[in-house]
Amino acid sequence: MLPPDRLHAALWIGLGLLCAWLIAQLSPILAPFLLAATLAYICNPLVDRLQRLGLPRIAGAVAVLALLGGVIAALILILLPLVTEEARIVAERLPEAAALANERLIPWLREHYGIRIQLDAATLKKLATENWDSLQAIAQRLLASLKIGGVALAGILANLLLTPVVMFYLLADWPRLVARIDGAIPRPWHARAAAMAREVDAVLAEFLRGQILVMLILAAYYSGALWIAGLPSALSVGVLTGLLIFVPYIGYATGLILALLVAVLQFQGLGPVVAVLAVYGIGQALESFLLTPFLVGERIGLHPLAVIFALMAFGQLFGFAGILLALPASAVLLVGLREVRAAYLDSRFYRGDA
């Protein structure tokens, strides 16, 4: 018969494997619940503050949901026309870009790397015009090719509508949910589990709320700096870059590529390109040496590479639901590793005691 400590460890490992299997099986329907839980976790302090000011918790949850919905709607109304206009400009200027590439870039590639390609400006112009004029037909054919029927579209819409509903119930019942989870912890483990839960909460709270501040500040910086640099659609590119900063390095690279594409398609020489590179260089320095250390803090211990790996690994294993689980799981793992390290440093093996 196994000793009690090994039996407990085996039970916890089995429970963890069972949870991972369930998440993998239920990942298609878990996404709205996990997204709602993430947003509720971020917004819960605001509801708590409204409650302390005398507003009933349900009314506070409704107010926070309305505020969040207004922010999302404003972003869509601001960004969608700008992105649409930018797409039209890109489609119109593709032939000019192809001609410029045929004149300067392709000869250089042929001379230095032996790459032989040729871009047909007339064909690109025809394709761009036809595709832009028949955008609705293309979308319909794409949906048909993906076999997205009415039932699937209804499911997508249901998930979008389900997220705020789940978020409302979580915000309204958050204190009771936490109390029930706390009451279910076995009493011998309660003190240790509560301490670890508080540490996980501190790691996640400081990371998420600090990262949101970084995103907002950088979105304002990139929008303003690109506008000063004279870049068309500076607001859309800047806000998009700020929002994508949440994914380390990849978000920054995506925003830089988009801004460089817009700058190149102006056909005004190297000036706009140099301005974009300067804006993004200063932005990267601002994020790395000022914003992230002060607003997120190195004390959290979530290295950017760890964030990238967690997002990619959990996304590969569990899809979109895994992406939402990546940061909470990373925080739990980080706290667990700290506990293991502390136990190791306190062990007789490490100290060299007989």
- Which of the residue ranges 10-24, 159-173, 212-226, 235-249 would you say has the lowest mean pLDDT? 10-24
**What tokens were used for 126?**
């025809």
The pLDDT of residue 88: 74
Residue for token digits 């996640």?
Answer: 204
**CB 99, CB 121: distance < 8 Å:** yes
State if pTM tops 0.85: no
| In the predicted structure, residue 137 carries a pLDDT above the cut 70 | no
**What tokens were used for 47?**
């509801």
Which of the 8 DSSP states describes residue 296? I
What mean pLDDT comes out for the span 324-329? 72
Structural domain includes residue 227: no
- Which of the residue ranges 88-92, 294-298, 345-349 would you say has the lowest mean pLDDT? 294-298
Structural domain includes residue 6: no
Rounded-to-integer distance, Cα 294 and Cα 302, Å: 14
Structural domain includes residue 263: no
Q: Which of 97-101, 283-287, 320-324, 337-341 has the highest mean pLDDT?
A: 283-287
| In the predicted structure, residue 131 carries a pLDDT above the cut 60 | no
> What is the three-state SS of 31-65?
HHHHHHHHHHHHHHHHHHHHHHCCCCHHHHHHHHH
Structural domain includes residue 203: no
| In the predicted structure, residue 124 carries a pLDDT above the cut 70 | no
Rounded-to-integer distance, Cα 171 and Cα 218, Å: 29
**CB 327, CB 42: distance < 8 Å:** no
pLDDT digits (tens, 9 = 90+) for 221-242: 999 999 998 887 788 888 888 8
What mean pLDDT comes out for the span 205-221? 85
**What tokens were used for 203?**
């790691």
Question: Of 89 and 150, which is predicted with more confidence?
Answer: 89
Which of the 8 DSSP states describes residue 103? I
| In the predicted structure, residue 267 carries a pLDDT above the cut 70 | no
Question: Of 158 and 222, which is predicted with more confidence?
Answer: 222
Domain of 156 in residue numbering reads as: 30-184
* Residues in contact with 232: Cβ distance below 8 Å, sequence separation at least 6, in sequence order: 86, 89, 262, 266
What mean pLDDT comes out for the span 243-252? 78
| In the predicted structure, residue 5 carries a pLDDT above the cut 70 | no
Structural domain includes residue 231: no
**Mean pLDDT across the chain:** 77
The pLDDT of residue 1: 52
Residue 262: how many other CB atoms lie within 10 Å: 21
Structural domain includes residue 18: no
**What tokens were used for 32?**
């709205």
Question: Of 89 and 54, which is predicted with more confidence?
Answer: 54
Structural domain includes residue 103: yes
pLDDT band at 153 (very low <50, low <70, confident <90, very high): low
Structural domain includes residue 130: yes
The pLDDT of residue 145: 46
**What tokens were used for 197?**
């839960």
pLDDT band at 61 (very low <50, low <70, confident <90, very high): very high
Give the burial string for 145-176 (b: 16+ CB within 10 Å, else e).
eeeeeeeeeeeeeeeeebbbebbbebbbbbee
What mean pLDDT comes out for the span 22-31? 76
Number of structural domains found in the chain: 1
The pLDDT of residue 169: 93
Nearest to 226 by CA among 179, 266, 183, 196: 266
